[in-house]
């Protein structure tokens, strides 16, 4: 309902400056990537698009319906991103696009050499637990944005559209490397948060996540979680954050807020009741944390959900 992790707006073209009303494409080239800004100003269906490299796409405005080979068609909205493997054919519908309601998204094509160089560094210097390799997963492509993805994407858009300095490509290459890491962390969060029960018997982080989910309404000693993972406290904390991009305490907080949102959907649950039922110990802290994560206070969320 509330998706506050949206990218900064990019100005749309007026009709006179468009080459086409369907997927008008503006290209901004950097050393190891190509930033494309697509705009559609009228309804269209089954528009095909394909890139030879991995592509990170993110919606800026409007709505698309995306069809990829590996997943069923889905609505694609601002606050969401999609990673597209090389040579994957996208089929796109624009059911609501119009002159006064254009659809706009970015597509960042990243060179294979830059991706390989980034993965080589990570796998050489920052190997994951159980000797797993860093890689972009072709099975988890449709992602909800998070603050890290939005902040990095906005930087790359600014570099592509506005930066004309000699050091532009150096900065872009470093930012691209950061983006790739955050994308892999976001994919790992998706995999583990939704599949931790299945993975709990074979992966220590999944075991810890499932323990947190099973005991989310009780007091959880973060320090004891490292014992469950059979790791030292320092190594557990470092590897957990490296894997997912957030700390164990961040995961606990997100799980409690997720539970609180479910309780708030019941109009008979007060904000105070919800606070303690979701495992929070302090009402003021709960309200602040909820607003920071969701974008509105618990009470406004509850009222708006009913409306």
Let me know whether 71 and 157 are in one domain. Answer: yes
- As a whole number of angstroms, the distance between CA 267 and CA 270 comes to 7
Residues 176 and 209 in one domain: no
Tokens of 213: 């989910």
Share of residues in the chain with pLDDT > 90 (%): 87
> With bands split at pLDDT 50, 70 and 90, how would you rate the model's confidence at 3?
low
Q: Which of 164, 198, 232 is the last residue of a domain?
A: 198
Q: What is the pLDDT of residues 137-182, one digit of tens each?
A: 998 899 999 999 999 999 999 999 999 999 999 999 999 999 999 9
Residue 8's pLDDT is 93
Work out whether the CA dihedral 213, 77, 154, 91 comes out positive or negative. Answer: positive
Model confidence pLDDT, tens digit, residues 55-65 = 999 999 999 99
Say if residue 19 is in the same domain as residue 94. Answer: yes
Which pLDDT does position 295 carry in this prediction?
87
Domain boundary among 174, 198, 222: 198
pLDDT the model gives residue 227: 94
Q: For residue 190, give the CATH number of its domain.
A: 2.60.120.280
Phi and psi at residue 85, to the nearest 5°: -65, 160
> Which structural domain, as residue segments, surrounds residue 110?
1-198
Q: What predicted TM-score, i.e. pTM, was given to this entire model?
A: 0.89
């Amino acid at each position: 309902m509330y998706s506050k992790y949206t990218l900064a707006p990019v100005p749309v073209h007026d009709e006179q400056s468009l080459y086409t009303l369907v997927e008008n494409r503006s290209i901004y080239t950097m050393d190891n990537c190509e930033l494309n800004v697509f705009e559609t100003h009228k309804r269209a269906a089954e528009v095909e698009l394909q890139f030879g490299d991995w592509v990170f796409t993110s919606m800026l405005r409007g709505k698309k319906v995306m069809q990829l080979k590996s997943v069923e068609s889905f609505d694609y909205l601002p606050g969401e991103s999609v990673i597209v493997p090389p040579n994957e054919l996208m089929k796109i519908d624009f059911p609501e696009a119009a002159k006064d309601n254009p659809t706009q998204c970015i597509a960042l094509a990243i060179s294979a050499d830059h991706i390989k160089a980034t993965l080589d560094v990570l796998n050489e210097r920052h190997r994951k637990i159980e000797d797993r390799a860093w890689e972009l997963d072709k099975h988890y492509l449709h992602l909800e944005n998070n603050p890290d993805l939005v902040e990095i994407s906005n930087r790359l858009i600014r570099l592509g559209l506005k930066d004309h300095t000699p050091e532009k490509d150096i900065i872009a290459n470093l930012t691209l490397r950061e983006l790739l890491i955050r994308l892999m962390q976001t994919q790992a969060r998706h995999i583990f948060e939704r599949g931790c029960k299945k993975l709990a018997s074979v992966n220590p982080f999944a075991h810890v996540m499932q323990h947190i989910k099973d005991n989310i309404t009780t007091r959880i000693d973060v320090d004891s979680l490292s014992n469950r993972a059979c790791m030292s406290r320092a190594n557990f904390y470092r590897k957990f954050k490296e894997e997912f991009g957030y700390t164990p305490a961040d995961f606990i907080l997100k799980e409690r807020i997720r539970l609180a949102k479910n309780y708030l959907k019941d109009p008979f649950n007060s904000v105070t009741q919800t606070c303690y039922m979701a495992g929070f110990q302090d009402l003021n802290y709960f309200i602040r944390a909820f607003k920071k994560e969701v974008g509105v206070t618990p009470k406004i969320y509850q009222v708006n959900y009913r409306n």
